[in-house]
Amino acid sequence: MARKLGKYEIIERIGRGGMAEVYRAYNANLDRYEAIKVLHSFLADAPEFKTRFEKEARNIARLKHPHIVQVYDFNFDPDTGSYYMVMELIEGGTLKDRLQELAKNGEMMPLGEALRYIRESADALSYAHKQGMIHRDVKPANLMVDRDGRIVLTDFGIAKIVTGPQFTVTGGMVGTPAYMSPEQGMGEPGDERSDLYSLGVILYELLTGKPPYSADTPLALILKHVNSPIPSACENNPRLPPFVDEVINKLLAKDPAERYQNADELIADLQELEQRSLHRTQPLNDTPVPPPLPPDNLNVVTGDDDDSPTIRKSNLIRQQAKQGAKSTRSRTPLLALIFLALLVGAAGIYVIGAQSGVFPAFGGVATDTLTPTSTEPPTATATDAPTELPITVVPIVVSEPPTSTFTPSPTLTPTPVPQATSTNTPTPEVSPTPSATPNITQTVAFERTATTAACVFDYAVVEQSPEDGDAGGFFTVNSPYTREITLLNTGTCTWEVNTSLTFVEGESFNAGPRIFIREPVEPAEEVTITFEGTLPPRGSLEPISGTWEMRTPGQIRFGAPLVISILVFDPGS
């Protein structure tokens, strides 16, 4: 008999994550297939979870947008003790699947396709942000691509459902370090600009095949988002036009005030970039010429009803045009001065040659106009010949540092002498340079906050074979014992190599002090641990138990203790 969840008939499981499992289900009343997201039952143990779930589920159900998955219903299943949401069934894979497919084939996503995905995602965020909803976990795994190529954003509101509105260290934080904004990594809840930062990370990955930052541990990855310079997408993919870096740099600005302030600003620039990418005639690695600024009497397209001439002008293009004009103006005086210097030099050589008889006198220039011992430049009068003009501008100097009042020091070495020595030579003032590494006090405080705030380490036991306790059957004293334990990473961060199941107290069954996991386990992935030991030499009418704990490589405990119980009997007693 098929399993039922309320009025829905469960067909098959189509996905599993750290917070929920997703099933394909049939709604007989409406004669359609839908997706049901069943939240793990352990989440319901959190304080005020029921109230929070119902409130946020209602908010999510109100979101109706072509690029946001539609939520139809939500309820509680008493048989499993789990809350669930019924949603639109998207036939297709995730953007993460698309990236993996491209990487497998050694291909790179076309620029137009990447810009469209990000623009449609930004359109979804724009709508949700205006409804007061922040996603807080935008990543390729939460972006579906249906069979028509439409992008659909999923898991809206899950962050607030599973952690609550406070986002405290004790409550943890939902988020993925690879796509997390610097402020989220520092333990802050983030706002709509944090969602846009995550979109910037995704855009970079779509165009280069890899995220902008990578590290061996979640904390190191968070520190890179906080401190490391923004890498150039164009350097990693030389076929990209330079204007792509400008959009990515604005999306990934460390300071939220320097990013796009809302999704609509980003959409305007993405539309401009899509047009430019479609109409490019020069090779993709050429630097485009900044377009001229439009006349002041042209209006930006805003949907107004007036009939005046209009032109769509994005902030990005306006900035480029201003920068191009500024660059042209800054080069003009320098070129003029170089030309004058060359002209003066040629004239000076000619005059000296004329004095020596090498060149004939020209245009009334006297051979005694300039002598080698002269300490002052000649002056021109209104009746002088035009060729004397270059000589009169010999004293012009483009840039000359003071010679008697400034002596730069070759090295700047701190000295413990408490009293400074007064000199007439000014020492250049050194401005503090921002360091990519926080000081010790900041690092200690940050590690304590970022590790717990950005990562939730937890697990769930999926299966044990043999089962635990009485259900596992009887085993003979002194006999070898093996149990396969399948664990699910229900946290938000990867379990690093050498994460272990560590013995704490009770009976160890001679399985050793630790059972190590020898490969990384991503969030929502399963791993099977082989528990091998020897049963004790005594039997008992009650199961013999030992307590074990999951620990990180740094011996930080996480999750509930795991009790292993075995019924052991002695045939000779």
Q: Which residues form the catalytic set?
A: 137
CB 76 within 8 A of CB 55: no
- Of 262, 231, 264, 235, the closest CA to residue 248 belongs to 231
- Of 173, 138, 178, the closest CA to residue 156 belongs to 138
- Of 410, 408, 414, 411, the closest CA to residue 427 belongs to 408
Residue 465 backbone dihedrals phi, psi, to 5 degrees = -140, 115
Three-class SS of 355-418: HHCCCCCCCCCCCCCCCCCCCCCCCCCCCCCHHHHHHHCCCCCCCCCCCCCCCCCCCCCCCCCC
> Which residues on adjacent β-strands are paired with residue 94?
144
Query: Measured between alpha carbons, how far is 175 from 188 in angstroms, rounded to an integer?
Result: 12
Structure tokens at 59: 């908010």
CA 309 to chain centre: 40
- Of 559, 526, 523, 525, the closest CA to residue 179 belongs to 523
- Of 352, 288, 279, the closest CA to residue 321 belongs to 288
CB 217 within 8 A of CB 225: no
Structure tokens at 464: 């044990």
- Of 373, 375, 377, the closest CA to residue 348 belongs to 377
The secondary structure of 493-543 as a DSSP string is: SPBPTTEEEEEEEE--TT--SEEEE-S-B-TT-EEEEEEEEE--S---SS-
Type of residue at 422: S
Structure tokens at 365: 């220039």
- 246 exposed, middle or buried (CB, 10 Å; 0-12, 13-18, 19+)? middle
> Terminus-to-terminus CA distance in the chain, angstroms?
45
Query: Measured between alpha carbons, how far is 8 from 12 in angstroms, rounded to an integer?
Result: 12
Three-state secondary-structure class, residue 567: strand
Query: What region does 130 belong to: left with phi over 0, alpha with psi -120 to 50, or beta?
Result: alpha
